[in-house]
Amino acid sequence: MRAFIAACLALIVLAAGCSSKPAPRPRVHDVGTDISAPFTDNTTYEVQAGETLKTVAQKYYGDESRWKSIYNANRERLRSPEDLRPGMKILLPPKDLPAYYEYTVKPGDTLSKIALEWYGDKAKARIIAEENGLKDPDAINPGQILRIPTIK
């Protein structure tokens, strides 16, 4: 409930044109770079007219394929990748943070269990399903390699 209230307050602050740093999340998985920790450089970007996530990714990273990293970092602000509006302030993941990590499914794993382990929130299983094009999130098999997107 606290996380929901913090997210609502952050949205109100952002809607008012103020910048706010995201609420820190607990550390849930150590793989060298903790993907659940808040950004350390707090890079924000103000969207310009005509920009898309791909054009922002190309401008900032030099690689338009990184648009998913930006979308995942702003899922609490964007209902869809097309929800970008001029003047909106969005978070940009650090340039040295990978877009995703690879994870090998173990016996007994479910997407919910993996999301809880990596993100501290089993509801984020849909993010893993989307990244991997899984139509049936229950259809994962031991030994299968999944892409676990870096999100903040």
Secondary structure (H, E, C), the chain = CHHHHHHHHHHHHHHCCCCCCCCCCCCCCCCCCCCCCCCCCCCEEECCCCCCHHHHHHHHHCCHHHHHHHHHHCCCCCCCHHHCCCCCEEECCCCCCCCEEEEECCCCCCHHHHHHHHHCCHHHHHHHHHHCCCCCCCCCCCCCEEEEECCC
For the entire predicted model, the pTM comes to 0.56
Q: Does residue 32 lie in a domain region? A: no
Structural domain contains residue 56: no
Domain membership of residue 143 (yes or no) is yes
Domain count, the chain: 1
pLDDT per residue as tens digits for the range 64-95? 988 988 888 888 888 899 999 999 999 898 88
Question: Is residue 148 scored above 70 in pLDDT?
Answer: yes
Q: What does the pLDDT read at residue 37?
A: 43
104 domain-assigned:
yes
Q: Does residue 81 belong to any structural domain of this protein?
A: no
Range of the domain at 124: 100-149
Domain of residue 121, CATH code: 3.10.350.10
